[in-house]
Amino acid sequence: MDEHFITRAFVSAHDDRAVERLAARLGPGPFSLVLLFVSPEADVAAFVADATRIWQGARIAGCTTAGEISGAGYDEGSIVAIGFHTRHFAAETLLIPDLSQLVAKDLSEALLQIRHSLARDHGHLQEEFALLLVDGLSAREDELASALAAGTGTMPLIGGSAGDGVNFRETLVFDGKQILANAAVISILRGACPLQVFKMDHIRPTQRRMVVTQADPASRIVRQINAEPAVHEYARLIGMQPESVNILTFAIHPLTVRMGERHHVRAIQRVLPSGELLFFAAIDEGMVLTIAEPEDLVDHLGSELQALRQPGDPIAVLGFDCILRRIEAQEKQMTGRVSKLLREHGVIGFSTYGEQIGPMHINHTMTGFAFYPPGTVIPGSDP
């Protein structure tokens, strides 16, 4: 990590002096934006209050996590801070305080106004991009991503859904001093560092398919599959007993939906007491789902991270990694090897309840940005 562009720091979520230690490790700045990924084990309110006091001149955006990606690789019970230095980055944030009251036109206008303002005042910073953090229990990520599309246009947008470990009780986002559920914050930046968007997906579809025959799309609940109780039919198709199905099952036997030529995971969050399936992403009656199987996570991750070095070594890699990938790594005893790769390639970020890339909300992926020194030529971009 180059201290003159983007810096990072990590501390225990139980450290009484967490903010002071993070500030010392990030360095003096000044920063245009400080991102904070906070374990739900922390006293979030106290931490955010301290953070806004320490980094008074910076925009502050963050969320709770389903696990962190720190200097140790996969981490838990920690806080990750990422500082974008003012000399090379300009940033503004836009808080969306109530996801049940989305108005696409208003969002687009607000985004375009911020983008125009940044372009006017910081036109010498050529790279424009956005980071989205959203309540992972809101069930509004798909609607939000769609609503943002007109305002973001071709600007790269990447993000993650806030988590709560594996508790699924409360997920929070924050913008400055404001800490909210059922909300989102989008950070819009202009920077001097060329960047590359990535989406890592080691899931491959099989020939086994099913149809959603009864669902509650607003709540992302599937009641019946192939006209049978949802969990029973899902279990039958993967060769398990319904009572044995749990979050580990969903990581090993994900479901995908075909969009154009590609399959995207529609991940199951949990089995409800009724035997219905609650999903992390949009679902609807008539949707054809395909059972998928994961390739080797370690081999795939290593190959993808190595590919990010083709333009040159990144100065930072920011990753939003689905909780199901972490669970799969734990189940297959790959956590150490995955962490080693993340550590060696300097990946920082958090484990999510869903990932955003452009106008799409997806699951079972790692999305993110790789940042490079000024002057680096990114394949496929204009010199």
Q: pLDDT (tens digit, 9 = 90+) per residue, 340-366?
A: 999 999 999 999 999 999 988 989 999
Q: pLDDT (tens digit, 9 = 90+) per residue, 218-231?
A: 899 999 999 999 99
What confidence score (pLDDT) does residue 263 get?
Answer: 82
pLDDT at 201 over 60: yes
State which H helix or E strand residue 215 sits in: strand 203-216
Which residue reads 């599937």 in tokens? 222
DSSP state of 290: E
Q: Please tell me the distance from the alpha carbon of residue 230 to that of residue 119, in angstroms, as a whole number.
A: 50
Of the two residues 337 and 259, the one the predictor is more confident about is: 337
Confidence tier at 2 by pLDDT (50, 70, 90) = very low
The full DSSP string for 72-105 is TEEESSEEEEEEEETTTEEEEEEEE--GGG--HH
Q: pLDDT (tens digit, 9 = 90+) per residue, 82-95?
A: 999 999 999 999 99
User: What proportion of the chain, given as a percentage, has pLDDT over 70?
Assistant: 98
Query: What are the backbone dihedrals phi and psi of residue 155, each rounded to the nearest 5 degrees, phi first?
Result: -65, 130
What confidence score (pLDDT) does residue 259 get?
Answer: 80
What is the arithmetic mean of pLDDT over 43-59? 95
Q: Please tell me the distance from the alpha carbon of residue 81 to that of residue 119, in angstroms, as a whole number.
A: 26
Q: pLDDT (tens digit, 9 = 90+) per residue, 151-163?
A: 998 999 999 999 9
**In 3D, which of 199, 220, 366 has the Cα closest to residue 287?**
220
For all residues of the chain together, what is the average pLDDT? 93
What is the arithmetic mean of pLDDT over 42-55? 96
What is the arithmetic mean of pLDDT over 123-149? 94
User: What proportion of the chain, given as a percentage, has pLDDT over 90?
Assistant: 84
* Dihedral sign (CA 334, 341, 74, 203): negative
Confidence tier at 379 by pLDDT (50, 70, 90) = confident
Confidence tier at 381 by pLDDT (50, 70, 90) = low
Query: What are the backbone dihedrals phi and psi of residue 153, each rounded to the nearest 5 degrees, phi first?
Result: 55, -125
What is the arithmetic mean of pLDDT over 253-276? 88
pLDDT at 191 over 60: yes
